[in-house]
Structure 1
Amino acid sequence: MSRFEIRDKFYLDGKPFKVISGSIHYFRTVPEYWQDRLEKLVNIGCNTVETYIPWNFHETEKGNFNWNGMHDICRFIELADKLGLYMIIRPSPYICSEWEFGGLPAWLLKDRSMRLRCSYKPYLNAVDSYYSVLMPKLAPYQIDNGGNIIMMQIENEYGYYGNDTSYLEFLRDTMRKYGITVPFVTSDGPWSEFVFKSGMVDGALPTGNFGSSAEWQFGEMRRFIGEDKPLMCMEFWNGWFDVWGEEHNITAPEKAAQELDILLKNGSMNFYMFEGGTNFGFMSGKNNEKKTGIVTSYDYDAPLTEDGRITEKYEKCKEVISRYTDINEVPLTTQIRRLEYGEIRCTAKTDLFSTLDSISDPVKSVYPLSFEELDSYYGYVLYRLHIRENETVSTVRCENAADRVQGFRNGKYAFTAFAETIDEQFELAEKSAGGTTDLLVENIGRVNFGTGLECQHKGVLGGIRINDHRQYGFEMFTLPLDENQLDRIDYNRGYNDGVPAFYKFEFEISETADTFLDTDGFRKGVAFINGFNLGRFWNIGPQKKLYIPAPLLKKGKNEIVIFETEGNSADSITLSDNN
């Protein structure tokens, strides 16, 4: 069996070893493309691949685990091993990563007293239960068991969050309890001594996360960890993520290569990201200071694009790596092409209110329930109030709602409450009595960074005031828009303009290839290909098209469904060969 050690340097079987790693998130890339991305990692000169493991991706409901298909972390590890790649696994309960709720499962919030990332017993019990399933899956792949995992991370950027050392010790000891024997690491930003040291714990090598000023950052780390430990940048930010409504972020290839050279001259590193991939479904998160959330694409301006293409940054970084190690390239074994399938006409449509009772059964309650209380954690919930015949609705106000609310009176659009206006009182243009007042509430992504994690309940959390008078007696329709719910849409129910609606597009193809969905004409919503949730779209950009990997298509008939929430639509969509 091989042995990996952390002493004054990293040692593999007693010989000094420079970790040259790249982040590839199996959960952001379709499994059919895992080998392609790993081969390209080998060919840039990396000897190691790193990945997080998001808790909410695997334990989708408490005690209900998914390890199949895109969730098959063991297959990903085995593919890396076959290509001769070592692995760094970061299975922290919390991962940040611009991922929904930082990887924490939203069902934790069903406990209204929940305290996260600290020694709160119910939280620790949930982590222990999860690790009792996860760690035995990983343990056989450790290097001292004949596998390729050389290091595992205890927590992620914990110094930014808190200083509960006993919590970090609990994670360390729990991982050991369930069979983890390889060396441990932590990772934090080295530019603050308080932050960096708050994330440290005995028995784990502290590593740094940063994207610039590498020489200075390593110098600061040396002050904190001493002279007898190796230096490693666990997250070399060679790019950055995008946020709805802001500019696309770019880091110059020359700058990334220059910083990489400094890192490899002084220690070890891990590209974050090597390939970013895609936040499929409703899994893009929201940084604490942002209101609009992370876009669906996690391209990250990485050496490989969202769809796996080699960039100028890749080539420049490869040249730098070649100065520090011999690069033994492997042939690329996955054929990947792009195709433009062209314009596709809408074949059926129906608005949400017309088909509502076919896709969702109402939950009745005197007071409004949160998404978490409704056991529906992602997507949307429609809150319905039946107004008394003698009451004219003049104003509506949401009390403590998250994240975005669209109000409707008798099936017609009335207002949108969001960001700065989320708790404002709205005076309706058309005042009427009786009927229904509906509020479509969207979860635009739970915060993935900062100390606001415990406040990420979604939905109407306080109440609804009509004419400044609190209302009771709710019907709530959950809209997670899973495959089962999509199958129940009845397109024969009719269609009304100007309100949320479903649009179906059917097309036949004779060959499958990567393509990009252009939603021009639609304003905001989510798109599906053959029942698979491609993610959110929003015409405020910077992302304008959604990536469709070829494995999500099939020869013959295919179906795209768009759920658009703003009442804006087009008669056709386009599948393009460029993004």
Structure 2
Amino acid sequence: MAAFEIGEQDFLLDGEPLQILSGALHYFRVHPDLWADRIRKARLMGLNTIETYVAWNAHAPERGVFDLTGNLDLGRFLDLVAAEGLHAIVRPGPYICAEWDNGGLPAWLMATPGVGVRTAEPQYLEAIAGYYDEILAVVAPRQVTRGGPVLMVQVENEYGAYGDDADYLRALVTMMRERGIEVPLTTCDQANDEMLGRGGLPELHKTATFGSRSPERLETLRRHQPTGPLMCMEYWDGWFDSWGEQHHTTDAAEAAADLDLLLSQGASANLYMFHGGTNLGFTNGANDKGTYLPITTSYDYDAPLAEDGSPTAKYEAFRAVIARHAPVPGEHPAPRASAPVLDVALERRVALADALPLLVEPKPFTHLPTADEIGQWSGFTLYRTDVESDDALLSVDEVRDRAVVLLDGEPVGTLSRTEGLTTTSLPPRAGVLDVVVEDQGRVNYGPRIGEAKGLIGAARTATRPLERWEVGGLRLATLDPDLLTMLHVAEPQDVAPVAGPAFCQGLFTSVPGADHFLRLDGWSKGLVWVNGTLLGRYWAAGPTRTVYVPGPLVRVDNEIVVLELHGARTGTASFVAGPDLGHTER
């Protein structure tokens, strides 16, 4: 048992000053078999604390469901932090941003009529209470006051950038205290006067978020936190990537020098990120500040520890800085070893149109429902209707976020929210029109949090409105066994070009337990599974050129399945020696 307090000048652990040297590591972005490795490397860099968000929607994918298993086993993660001799900070939101789908808020909650968003609205608070019942039951027994690693718990997240409802924040504080959280509670906001003024409570300790000009930012924080230790709860040491943009990097020496200034003032810091990890499956978020930009599958973040857990130049630069302020172990983590290099022929293909009966049971509608209306919270949604030979085109009010348009299974067009494409021409023939809409990630920051996905508003052709539809969500989180059977018995096509949209399957033998880096040069856009696990999205738009395959997923004999939405010039996929996160200049 220990006592952790916020003193007049310092954080105090059993009465002794503690400068918190923390690193952000999101358990839900890392394979659980790799947690211990990442935590150990944090200690070897000189950190004494691990911080993590909690992604509510990952734990609660549907109303009434709560999952604490596998890579969602927060209790196991915190126990591994403790086993490494480190402290922990937990930030359970309910809103987390984190470039995560919907900022961590469950889409099923946002679809509730009349529900509030980040405010003291009764339905919203009731749902949070249920969430806290589950997650704080994991955190409470692991507080430092009960022999565990947890020093602090954060209330909400950068709330000053969104709202100013003090009653809402106080309701969260009450719920946390009622559920056994007795360690100090904090808030964090971006280091400007307006956000720090709006986002906290007088009774809670304020921290700030920033990534440069540390002395100036700390001075701003001190105006709002007159006493007590100063802390940068997110020291932005890198940045996230969006599809179609460049790979963001920051200079290691400059970032280290600024961190040195921060620590030299006696402030505590949490590196955001220490290790970014991966947006597996459909978990990436998006930003929309006039243009909708979904986040890449890789969440490498140009962090000190790369997406695959390898130390970087920034790791060594930060380690040297930390050594000037605190003891650092003498051991260094090993550098990245070359991953297995091999080509895989994806010889067996099944057209998406032929697979649809296995993946979806569409239901009839006399209007155009959103994906949320049918309970499809992520992934792909099928919209089906009949068209006539003189319809000429399909036009929709809005698409969220991208769609492939098929006529009798033949691709005839694309709709795109980012590109503003809401109309496509149709061939002059009657047939069955399928619009396969991809939710590319729910907005994670700003006023568009909680918006519905799918086709929004109305649809029409050149001659008439389209009002009769069949709509259903595609089951793609796991691969349907009957689809796999179709792939296994399909006639091999060697490495012929791929005409999409189609599922493509191949087998490969490799080193079990070794990290792999999948490269799909010449492919366009889609999803990839290895041994049944949906790794996420790939896209020729870049910047990311490789998909990280965690070693624990790899066996001696392996299967890869790709859903290519458009086409590929070759049916070959390649595993390469290391990652390629793309160009760094625009």
TM-score category (smaller protein): over 0.9
Please give the secondary structure, in 1, of the residue aligned with 2:304. coil
Shift of 1:106: 1.2
Q: How does 1:2-21 map to 2 (within 5 A)?
A: 2-8=2-8, 9-21=10-22
- Equivalent AA in structure 1 for residue 452 of structure 2: H
Residue equivalent to 1:401: 399
Structure 2 letter corresponding to 1:541:
G
Q: Distance in 2 between matches of 1:306 and 1:519?
A: 18
Contact (CA 8 Å) 1:523, 1:569: kept in 2 or not?
Answer: no
Q: Is the 8 A contact 2:280 2:535 kept in 1?
A: yes
Alignment of 1:94-113 (within 5 A): 94-113=95-114
Distance 1:88 1:406 in 2: 43
Deviates more, 1:284-293 or 1:5-14: 284-293
Contact conserved, 1:486 with 1:531, CA < 8 A, in 2?
no
Instruction: From the superposition, tell whether residues 58 and 335 of structure 1 become closer, same or farther in structure 2 (CA, over 3 Å).
Output: farther
Q: How does 1:218-233 map to 2 (within 5 A)?
A: 218-226=218-226, 228-233=227-232
Question: Residue 350 of structure 1 aligns with which residue?
Answer: 350
d(CA) in 2 for partners of 1:373, 1:90: 30
Report the Cα offset of residue 255 of structure 1: 0.7
Deviations 1:43-79 (A, max 9, x none): 1111111000100111111111111111111111001
Choose the corresponding residue for 1:439, options 415, 424, 435.
Answer: 435
- Quote the residue 1:124 is aligned against: 125
Shift of 1:401: 2.4
Alignment of 1:303-452 (within 5 A): 303-329=304-330, 337-387=337-387, 392-419=390-417, 422=420, 424-428=422-426, 430-432=427-429, 434-452=430-448
Q: Which residue of 2 aligns with 1:550?
A: 551
Give the direction of change, closer, same or farther, for the CA distance of 1:468–1:168 in structure 2 (3 Å limit).
farther
Q: What's the CA shift string for 1:502-543, capped at 9, x where partnerless? A: 001112235331110111121011111111111111111110
Against the structure 1 CA distance between its residues 115 and 569, is the aligned structure 2 distance closer, same or farther, given a 3 Å change threshold?
farther
Unaligned runs of 5+ in 1: none
* TM alignment of 1:559-578, pairs within 5 A: 559-568=559-568, 570-578=570-578
Find the counterpart in structure 2 of residue 285 from structure 1.
Answer: 285
Q: Counterpart in 2 of 1:458? A: 453
Q: Secondary structure at the match of 2:343?
A: strand
Q: Does 1:472 align with 2:428?
A: no
Q: Distance in 2 between matches of 1:215 and 1:562?
A: 49
Counterpart amino acid of residue 230 in structure 2: L
Check the 8 A contact 2:46/2:319 in 1, yes or no: yes
Partner of 1:142 in structure 2? 143
The alpha carbon displacement at 1:463 in A equals: 2.3
Partner Cα distance (2:72, 2:354) in 1: 35
The code of the aligned residue for 1:431 comes to P
Offset at residue 190 of structure 1 (A): 1.3
TM-score for both structures, normalised by structure 2: 0.93
Distance between the aligned counterparts of 1:486 and 1:424, measured in 2? 35
**1:396–1:468 CA contact under 8 A, matched in 2:** no
CA shift, 1:224, in A, is 1.6
Equivalent position amino acid for 1:476 in 2:
V
**Equivalent AA in structure 2 for residue 577 of structure 1:** A
CA pair 47-510 structure 1, distance change in 2 beyond 3 A: closer
The 1:211/1:510 distance shift into structure 2, 3 A limit, reads closer
CA deviation vs aligned residue, 1:7-55 (integer Å, no higher than 9, x gap):
2211000111110111111111111111111111111111111000100
Residue number in structure 2 paired with 1:263:
262
**Cα offset, 1:422, TM superposition:** 4.1
Q: Corresponding residue for 1:206? A: 206
Deviations 1:393-449 (A, max 9, x none): 212111232111222222222221213654644333x212x3111111110100011
Instruction: Report how far residue 568 of structure 1 moved.
Output: 3.0
| Amino acid aligned to 1:467 | A
Question: CA RMSD, aligned part only?
Answer: 2.0
Structure 1 pair 331–487 and aligned structure 2 pair: CA distance change class (3 A): farther
Aligned-pair distance for 1:484? 4.7
What does the per-residue CA deviation read over 1:295-334, in whole Å, with 9 as the maximum and x for residues that have no partner?
A: 11111111111111111111111111111111235686x9
Q: Counterpart of 1:519?
A: 520
Take 1:381 and 1:573, find their aligned partners in 2: how far apart are those partners? 27
Q: Using the alignment, how far apart are the partners of 1:569 and 1:106 within structure 2?
A: 37
Percent identity, aligned pairs only, is 37
Q: 2:4–2:11: 8 Å Cα contact kept in structure 1?
A: yes
The residue type paired with residue 460 of structure 2 is R
Q: CA deviation at 1:104?
A: 0.9
Query: Which ranges of 4 or more aligned residues in structure 1 deviate by more than 6 Å?
Result: 493-497
In the aligned structure 1, how far is the partner of 2:179 from the partner of 2:321?
39
Q: Secondary structure at the match of 1:370?
A: coil
1:339, CA displacement in angstroms? 2.5
The TM-score, its normalising length taken from structure 1, stands at 0.95
Name the CA distance, whole Å, in 1 between partners of 2:454 and 2:490: 27
SS of corresponding position for 1:60:
coil
Instruction: Give 3-state SS (helix, strand or coil) of 2:120's partner.
Output: coil
1:94 touches 1:103 (CA, 8 Å); kept in 2?
Answer: yes
Aligned equivalents of 1:179, 1:470: Cα separation in 2: 56
* 1:89 counterpart residue number: 90
Identify the match of residue 477 of structure 2 among 475, 478, 482: 482
Specify the SS of the correspondent of 1:61.
coil
Q: 1:199-248, CA deviations, whole angstroms, 9 ceiling, x for partnerless residues?
A: 1114321101000010100011111221x121100000011111111111
SS at match of 1:89: strand
2:448 and 2:204 mapped to 1: Cα distance?
27
Q: 1:115 to 1:485 in 2, by over 3 A?
A: farther
